[in-house]
Amino acid sequence: MDAATLLSRFPATQDLAGKDMPTFRVAGADLLAAVRFLRDEQGFDLLADLCGAEWQDRPTRFGVVLHLLSTAGKEYVRLHVDAVNDRVPSVAALHPGANWHEREAFDMFGIVFEGHPDPRRILMWDGYPFHPLRKDFPLAGIEVPLPAADVAAVTGQTVEPAPMMGGPFVSQGGKMSEGEPSALDQSWNEQQPKA
């Protein structure tokens, strides 16, 4: 991985000093050229992953993280891109595998991938009004009509918020038991009835 060339050719690039693999923040305008440089000149020929991310404490709320793998050099590189105005250029033309990943990032976060060949939702149905992995979206969901109007008319069913029953149940931290999962009260069992 030739970091010096990447940094000199794309001056807006920032080395994030990743602990597990070389990590860079790339400007959105440089993304296509940087991915093409890594693919054609550095041998990063496989797009291992592309995902959206949300940072509530940063000026640009959404970002995209790409993991590229060099199958010959057996090394990874990670690229961070900030989605300025929720927009990021699509890399589907360079790595066809990015197509569905970008559709998922659009579906879940609402990040628009400019130049995407097929910018539809992939998990939720077309016309669903929200992007469910955004942090301001409640886990239980928001009530909207069913996608099929005729089925909704017959069944009277809507897309309802799920009953959370006091959840979501999040660990409060502290010491974790290392024993096998078992009942707290071990004084009775099938052979020994409860006193």
Amino acid residing at 26? V
Binding residue for another protein (CB under 8 A) from 163, 173, 174, 193? Answer: 163
Q: Which two tokens stand for residue 100?
A: 């569905």
Q: How far is the CB of 105 from another protein (least distance, A)?
A: 17
CA-CA-CA-CA torsion sign (115, 119, 122, 128): positive
Q: How far is the CB of 159 from another protein (least distance, A)?
A: 5
- Measured from the CB atom, the residue of 154 and 176 that comes closer to another protein is 154
153 part of the interface to another protein, by CB under 8 A: no
Binding residue for another protein (CB under 8 A) from 32, 46, 112, 146? Answer: 146
Binding residue for another protein (CB under 8 A) from 15, 40, 138, 188? Answer: 138
Cα three-residue angle 172-173-174, rounded to 5 degrees: 125
Q: How far is the CB of 137 from another protein (least distance, A)?
A: 7
- Measured from the CB atom, the residue of 82 and 107 that comes closer to another protein is 107
164 part of the interface to another protein, by CB under 8 A: yes
124 part of the interface to another protein, by CB under 8 A: yes
132 part of the interface to another protein, by CB under 8 A: yes
**Binding segment toward another protein, per CB under 8 A, in 37-45, 60-68, 86-94, 157-165:** 157-165
Q: Rounded distance, CA 131 to CA 124, Å? A: 9
Q: Which two tokens stand for residue 136?
A: 């301001």
What is residue 150's three-state secondary structure?
helix
- Measured from the CB atom, the residue of 125 and 188 that comes closer to another protein is 125
Instruction: Determine how many CB atoms are found less than 10 A away from the CB of residue 161.
Output: 12
Residue-by-residue DSSP string for 33-78: HHHHHHHHTS---EEEEEEEEE-TTSSS-EEEEEEEEETTTTEEEE
CA-CA-CA-CA torsion sign (183, 189, 194, 195): negative
Q: Which residues bind to another protein, rule: CB under 8 A? A: 123-125, 132, 137-142, 146-148, 151, 154-155, 157, 159-165, 167-168
